[in-house]
Structure 1
């Protein structure tokens, strides 16, 4: 099993990540947790890990400084930043520090599943001589097509792109069609034929599904305007209207449905 260390000063975040990782079908196990950089460095001396999930905002030393130290003391470790800050400067520094990914909290479970899938693939390439990992045949691939159909390679590639960029508010059919050198009308027709959904319906369904995952997380206290931005909407009010149209409840009503029952 690939070994993961969780570094976050919030106990509830570490607990949630541990529960998800260890209940998933991916070949990962959490070997240690730390609430600050000092604890992380001390524990890594005793419990080496392949991957370190690190929060940016921690007492005494922030996560970016910790990554710098990890590169010197544990150069083979793979770092994933999980942050509550959608900050371009943080993201830029993360790229400079060669972080594997920069993920914003709270993270939809399907996004975490895909992250683990990509990490497993990366680690198998990085450590090809380690035979304790599962093979790709043993590992479930995240469900990526909302329609459930296989489709052609072209439309599969397009939907993969949409799935990976649903948070982008500028994700339009014109932009995606240009990226794949296609006519927007032709792309729309092909998507409808192969997924059963128009481009807009596909993107909307994906975004609302991701929003529901975040709202279903009992540990999440995200504000509705932040959730709207997180799933690709510039306007909280438009997001709320679309959400209610699809779900039958407003985002806040959906979040509080168990409390009010």
Structure 2
């Protein structure tokens, strides 16, 4: 999918060229236009195009200076200069800035399509020269997800250093590096989304990065920010979320604590927490809470000074008949019968 930018100060030429580009049949994700070189430079900083069509004579910033600035910014943007016959020698100066092609005014459909075919072929060759295997991206995304999910800052730092070393050593062009980092960013959020962990979607604006180091720094900061955000949502607790939930339940057995309350306490979506708890404990939240209440009730029943009616309240049952019914279902006998078996008179 190609992004294309057209810079020309004549509205009719911009519209005409845009129409010709649209008719070329290339997989185009977007075509943007600019009425002068200064606006074009701003557009490029916002979102790097694959191909740039630029006029030579424009106000505020002419085509020659635009080509020079683009070459300094990212040589992988393929530039096509549009000029009149009188500007031909002037346009040739742009070749030193990596200009791939030039078109003479008035442009025609055949010439534009021919140039676009050449640009697309060049782009294809560039993409095949340097790439990062999908399996590697998936592995990195898996490790990132695990580190963020478990709040493992050291593991995340280690992975980021491994990734930085390998990506920088691959000599990827800036725009390709940005594509890889944005893909990793999307993969992480997708995986966390499956866990129902919807972190704040800060836009990862890498297009404005001036070089590899800046693009990487922005990406690394974003990854660390995701972990910090989740850590804050969990109120700084570093325990396993299920174990943390069990401890919270244990400390509040005398209260009617809901699944939603526990999920909120540990910073998880209630629906996902319910699934995670059952997967980890092999029983539902309610089943676990009931079992722990009944186990505590047994221990209290084994202590003669506790009255059975007091025990029901101590394990979270304001309704005594409900407690006795639940206990019988769990232990196979009534609380009073359980005491008798222990040799304790009620």
TM-score, normalised by the number of residues in structure 2: 0.36
Greater radius of gyration (CA): 2
Structure with the larger helix share:
2
